[in-house]
Structure 1
Amino acid sequence: MTQTLIIGAGITGASLAFQLARRGETVTVIATHTNGGLASAASFGWLNASYYLSHPHYHLRHEGLAAHRRLMEAVPGLPTSWSGCLWYEATGPAQEETASDLAALGYRVDRLSRLQIAERLPTLGPIPETALFFPEEGVADPGVLARALIAASGAQVVTATVLDVTHAQGRVSGVLTDLGPMPADRVILATGTGTPALLAPFGYTLPMLKRPGLMVRTNPLPPICPVVLATPDQEVRQDREGRLVAPASAGHQSDHAETLGAFPVVVNATLQRLRALFPGHDIHFAHQAMALRPVPGDGLPVVGQGPVEGLWLAVMHSGATLAPIVAECLAAEISGGSDSPLLTDFRPSRFK
């Protein structure tokens, strides 16, 4: 029986474990950290296709939303909800251009007036003149989702640090860990920013952007933000416990900053923006999660066969949206199916 090792227990590795297990594969997940990963635990968790870098990227993200819904049917009780997103990161002609572009792709877009915005979000302080509403979008906690999918997969989980990917005669043979060698017929790297170091011995360079992310959670509050809210200054959502969840940078998805700044300054600035959005509420800092986001050099996913037979790669941002569809497509390929057209533009070979 084929033995598959998945390195990484974030949302990408967990989704792959689930999909491969459904196909009868024997899967072991190796993770340095607890199930849920580092980047996944620090994710905003916004599921969307309104942000995209190319038309193939849009289609992959859009299919990602459908794949999340299929997961909800397969595993009841997953922490995924479909609140929609109220968006006005751009205004005026730029907002209308966004609406027209998305509508032309078949995305559902509602144009809202100031009155309609106030009706949907009466707690919002400054009400913009117009906004877009994306009803297909939702939220999930990728760390919690990853743990649920690993549990549903039945995969064995080993806590260890992978030091090297071993190979012989042009084919992967397993990994070397701090606990010793682990043989395998397949190895899948769902290792985020740790991937380049594991590929370097093969003479393969995977460029990664430096994109630190800091997620702030507040004290529990009454229901004040029933949607994902994307403004020019702040993205924010409210979790099931009533806490506001907010990236510490505006335009989190397209943020190009390589440093975060001093922690107290960044957190206080985020809290000030939240208090301006929701005046009259006692908003305070409660928790933070920080990680380097796994953003490949061109911003697009890297998915497919690696530099030797039996070695596969799955590195992407945002895994919150993309992991379920990437796992469906890649698991089918790994199990002997045909190449997925959805993954054509995202193969590792583009960096050779």
Structure 2
Amino acid sequence: MTKEVIVIGAGIIGASIAWHLSRAGALVTVIADSGAGGVATPNSFAWINASWGNPETYFRLRVRAMAEWKRLAKDLPGLPLAWCGGLCFDLPADRLEAYAAEHSAWGYGIERVGREQAALIEPNLAELPDFAMYVAEEGVAEPVAAAKALLGDAERRGARIVTGTVGALAISGDRVTGVVVSGEAIAADEVVVAAGAGVPAIAATAGIKLPIETPPGLIVHSRPYEKLLNGLVLGDRLHMRQTAEGRIIAGSDFGGGDPGVDATATARDLFAATKAMLRGAEGLELDFHTVGYRPTPIDGFPIIGRAEGVDGLYIAVTHSGVTLAPAVGLFATREILDGERDALLAPYGLGRFAQ
């Protein structure tokens, strides 16, 4: 029997889940109150990596997700990805060494580089570090374009895209049976809530409390410019990269920093620091800044899986959305359609917060 699944959210996580479900033969309806790309995804630094904040279990999930991006690129040619590498020097030398030693022991391809090597990797940096780490296998996605590509192909496979706001989950007994959009019920065998910062409010309509914070992150975007950066640069209080269309985007960390009380003034200061970090940037101009609200479970790790005590409901929310998207899409599809939960998701169910 073909399963009917509603996916709430058109960001990179929702788009990946919808695409994987459609490819596996499910009848998919995507519901979102914004266009393809959602709300958080357009404001993402879009770094694909397995670098930071990792116990080894989370590192393994992220490494698998990096591999799934490569698989996804083969399955969907033209996906906007670049395996450009990342040059990192945003920690004191002792902490950078400890990070490198730990991740190298886990098999991550970290190379220690000095000033001369850093200059070869990123020749347009005005201030070169004496010591840095370089991971050639890290990359970036253009997240909105990637989400649009996934949703477009899902539509070609029969998925339906509905613009609207989910007011509540439809419930019968202890089972979610669909959603209510503008007062109209839409039925499904399973509902996936992948609406980023909107997940807690939707889940609450089924009596499920999700411990999620939504810290703001400011990122500046230049106007398109000549090529200045080869890859990711993760410097002291300044992370930056150049997009496929030539925009330099930067934040005080990869998720964007605190915008403060005057986001426009903070953006001007950040952009000035970005220009000062680059040679040949005299003509670089600030185009706009964004403030994204990052859906972040309180322990920093994803919530991926079915809600306990409520049938027919699957939750997918994480701050590491761009990195994890293809793995989450694949694993969620297997769990929803076949009941198979991947071992890499074992630590990341909602039940961990009940303790």
Match of 2:253 in 1: 251
Aligned partner (choices 205, 227, 232) of residue 228 of structure 1:
232
Report if the CA contact (8 A) 1:271-1:283 is conserved. no
Moved more, 201-210 or 13-22: 201-210
Note the C-alpha offset of 1:196. 1.2
Report if the CA contact (8 A) 1:91-1:130 is conserved. no
Note the C-alpha offset of 1:243. 1.2
Note the C-alpha offset of 1:41. 0.8
Note the C-alpha offset of 1:260. 3.5
Distance across 2 between alignment mates of 1:241 and 1:200: 40
Match of 2:214 in 1: 210
Distance across 2 between alignment mates of 1:36 and 1:201: 24
Note the C-alpha offset of 1:63. 0.8
Note the C-alpha offset of 1:97. 0.9
Distance across 2 between alignment mates of 1:149 and 1:70: 13
1:261 aligns with 2:261: yes
Distance across 2 between alignment mates of 1:125 and 1:254: 22
Note the C-alpha offset of 1:208. 1.3
Letter paired with 1:306: A
Matches within 5 A, 1:273-288: 273-281=273-281, 282-288=283-289
Report if the CA contact (8 A) 2:217-2:255 is conserved. no
Distance across 1 between alignment mates of 2:83 and 2:328: 20
Task: Tell me: CA distance 1:210–1:221, structure 2 relative to 1, closer, same or farther (3 Å).
Answer: same
Match of 2:316 in 1: 314
Distance across 1 between alignment mates of 2:298 and 2:256: 13
Match of 1:108 in 2: 109
Note the C-alpha offset of 1:336. 1.3
Match of 2:121 in 1: 120
Distance across 2 between alignment mates of 1:16 and 1:203: 24
Match of 2:68 in 1: 67
Task: Tell me: CA distance 1:168–1:179, structure 2 relative to 1, closer, same or farther (3 Å).
Answer: closer
Q: Which runs of 5+ in 1 are unaligned?
A: none
Letter paired with 1:350: R
Report if the CA contact (8 A) 2:219-2:256 is conserved. no
**Residue correspondences, number:** 348
Q: Secondary structure at the match of 1:94?
A: helix
Match of 1:171 in 2: 175
Distance across 1 between alignment mates of 2:242 and 2:311: 44
Note the C-alpha offset of 1:156. 0.8
1:139 aligns with 2:143: no
Report if the CA contact (8 A) 1:233-1:273 is conserved. no
Distance across 2 between alignment mates of 1:215 and 1:253: 8
Matches within 5 A, 1:1-352: 1-154=2-155, 155-178=159-182, 180-247=184-251, 250-253=252-255, 257=258, 260-281=260-281, 282-307=283-308, 308-352=310-354
Report if the CA contact (8 A) 1:43-1:141 is conserved. no
Letter paired with 1:49: A
Note the alpha carbon deviations across 1:324-351, whole angstroms, 9 max, x for none.
1011111101111422101000001112
Distance across 1 between alignment mates of 2:255 and 2:60: 17
Note the alpha carbon deviations across 1:231-288, whole angstroms, 9 max, x for none.
01200000122110112xx233496x5x633122111111111112114422221123
Moved more, 67-76 or 199-208: 199-208
Distance across 2 between alignment mates of 1:34 and 1:193: 15
Note the C-alpha offset of 1:93. 1.4
Q: Secondary structure at the match of 2:260?
A: coil
Note the alpha carbon deviations across 1:121-163, whole angstroms, 9 max, x for none.
1111011101110111000121111110011112210001000
Report if the CA contact (8 A) 1:160-1:179 is conserved. no
Note the C-alpha offset of 1:179. 5.4
Over aligned residue pairs, what C-alpha RMSD do you find?
1.5
Moved more, 1-10 or 24-33: 1-10
Letter paired with 2:89: Y
Runs of 4+ in structure 1 over 6 Å off: none
Report if the CA contact (8 A) 1:213-1:293 is conserved. yes
Distance across 1 between alignment mates of 2:329 and 2:199: 17
Q: TM-score, normalised by structure 2?
A: 0.94
Distance across 1 between alignment mates of 2:254 and 2:124: 23
Report if the CA contact (8 A) 1:229-1:235 is conserved. yes
